[in-house]
Amino acid sequence: MAPGDEAAERSAAIETIKSLVGNNKVMLFMKGSKLFPQCGFSNTAVSILRACDAEFETFDVLSDYLVREEIKNYSSWPTIPQCYVNGEFVGGSDILLEMFESGELEKTLAELKK
């Protein structure tokens, strides 16, 4: 791929990320899909959000290597899954799990419904 093409594709990937984060109250960047997670940590994140009865969108980073790379820069976070709530980065599956266990996640998600 010519350097100019790649730069344009990277910009497009970043715009995709911004759009997904901005348009969805709960956004999960994961490996696999909501129905078929392809990573144990991504599966954990989906299970937790389901357990909170959250409405959430997912993006399969395995389907787009540029989004997979750029989301790590966008969030300054090195691993997948990555969860955004109301446009703000919350964390990966470990953080979601701790927030779920403490009740903090449900409280945060309930605030979104107001």
Partner 1 sequence: MSNSATSAKRDHSAQLGGPIQSCIERKLQAALVPAHLQVINESHSHNVPKGSETHFKVVAVSSMFEGKALLARHRLVNGLLSEELEAGVHALSIVAKTASEWEKAEGVVPPSPACRGGSQK
Q: Which of 33, 62, 64, 106 binds partner 1 (CB under 8 A)?
A: 62
Closest CA to 42 of 54, 55, 33, 52: 33
Cβ at position 59, least distance to partner 1 in Å: 15
Burial class (CB in 10 A: 0-12, 13-18, 19+), 21: buried
Q: Which of 34, 77, 86, 108 binds partner 1 (CB under 8 A)?
A: 77
| Residue 79 is a binding residue for partner 1 (CB under 8 A) | yes
| Residue 29 is a binding residue for partner 1 (CB under 8 A) | no
Cβ at position 91, least distance to partner 1 in Å: 5
